[in-house]
Each structure stands twice: as C-alpha cells, then as structure tokens.
C-alpha cells in the first residue's frame, strides 16, 4: 500500500483539468512531482486564492501558488 505523502490544499475549492472532486479543498497524492504539477495546473473558486502542496510527515510547504494580481496600476 502506498502512503499519500503529499497534500494539495487551499482554503477555497480547488478546480482544474487534472483534479477531480467538486468543492474539494484537499487532495492527497503519493508523488511529490505529481502533486506539484496538479497544483500548478489548478486554480481556486473564487479565483486567485492560494494553493499549497504540503509534505504530510513534516508539514513542510514544498510548493505555493497564488494567481497573478489582475489589478495592475496603469499610470
């Protein structure tokens, strides 16, 4: 049995072409590279909230993503 060592998490629902589960804020993945790819290709609803990949045994955040700010100041 493979342990799910990585957790993709957000305070808001995570959606994306490679993530299944409606309104899920947490996904468990065994492989670090796969967890990072899934997080990088995903976004939150509402758009722009943070998505993290956490190594469960240590609690270390190994990847963090937030959306680029859409309110750029044009002077």
Instruction: Tell me if residue 37 falls in helix, strand or coil.
Output: helix
Note whether residue 46 is domain-resident: yes
Note whether residue 59 is domain-resident: yes
Note whether residue 75 is domain-resident: no
Q: Residue 36: what pLDDT? A: 97
- How confident is the prediction for the chain on average, in pLDDT? 87
What's phi and psi for 60, nearest 5 deg?
A: -70, 130
Note whether residue 49 is domain-resident: yes
Give 71 or 39, the one with higher predicted confidence.
39
pLDDT at 69 over 50: no
Range of the domain at 21: 6-65
pLDDT at 49 over 60: yes
Per the structure, the count of domains in the chain is 1
Note whether residue 56 is domain-resident: yes
Note whether residue 71 is domain-resident: no
Q: What is the pTM of this model?
A: 0.82
């Amino acid at each position: 049995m493979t342990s799910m060592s990585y957790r993709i998490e957000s305070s808001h629902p995570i959606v994306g072409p490679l993530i299944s589960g409606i309104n899920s804020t947490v996904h468990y993945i065994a492989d670090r590279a796969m967890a990072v790819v899934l997080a990088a290709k995903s976004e939150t609803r509402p758009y722009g909230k943070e998505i993290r990949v956490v190594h469960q045994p240590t609690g270390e955040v190994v990847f963090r993503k937030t959306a680029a700010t859409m309110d750029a100041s044009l002077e």
